[in-house]
Amino acid sequence: MTVIYVMESEVGVKIGISKNPNERLRQVTNASGMQVSLRHTREHESAYAVEQNAHKLLADKRRTGEWFNVTVDEAIAAIDEAASEIEDACEPQETVSCTTVFREKLRQIAERYRKAERLLEEVVVRRVIDEVFEKPLVIPAWQEETGRKGGRR
């Protein structure tokens, strides 16, 4: 499971996520050249959403990237508040409706792509016909509207 972590250094407090926070600590320490310590970890099934929400809660105290000018306790409080907001928004009965909404949105997007694909195919066919006959293909308006081929009925 992914973990939300709080690291502290001389430049501030970092709130991030990782599946292996100790390895992440090593990476941050090596990359920054500073002494960095892992001060808090918390597992959460929606770790990414909690992290993003905590970042928003502390946006006015952001130094750069995931680093903030706050105390470790303030960072932990922001994580707790962010997790609480996410948990309140995803009660079990709402999860089902969230899934239903998500599936419906995917269905709508897929339908738009299918329509766009059909239109693109039609344009390509018309351009090929135009090139083959070296003149634009003119389709009578009545045929365009009805979709029928051949004479009027």
What residue segments make up the domains of the chain, in order of their start? 3-89, 92-136
Neighbouring residues of 149: CB distance < 8 A, sequence distance ≥ 6: 143
Residue 94, pLDDT > 60, answer no
Quote the mean pLDDT of the chain: 82
CA atoms of 52 and 66, how far apart (whole Å): 10
Question: What are 41's two structure tokens?
Answer: 């970890």
* 119, amino acid identity: L
pLDDT at 96 over 50: no
Q: Tell me what pLDDT residue 19 has.
A: 94
Statement: residue 55 has pLDDT above 80: yes
pLDDT of 124: 78
Higher pLDDT, 76 or 94: 76
Instruction: Give 144's pLDDT tier (boundaries 50, 70, 90).
Output: low
Q: Note the residue count of the chain.
A: 153
Report which of residues 140 and 116 the model is more confident about.
116
What sections of the chain are H helices per DSSP? 21-32, 47-57, 72-89, 92-133, 141-146
Identify the residue with better confidence: 6 or 143.
6
Q: What is the pLDDT of residue 150?
A: 54
Average pLDDT over residues 140-153: 56
Average the pLDDT over 82-98 and give the result. Answer: 65
pLDDT in the model for residue 34: 92
Tally of CB atoms within 10 A around 15: 25
SS3 16: strand
DSSP letter, residue 34: S
Look at residue 97 and tell me whether its pLDDT is greater than 80.
no
- Beta-carbon count within 10 A of 4 CB: 25
Using alpha carbons, select from 64, 18, 23, 10 the residue that is nearest to residue 41.
Answer: 18
Q: Which tokens in the block code for residue 28?
A: 């941050």
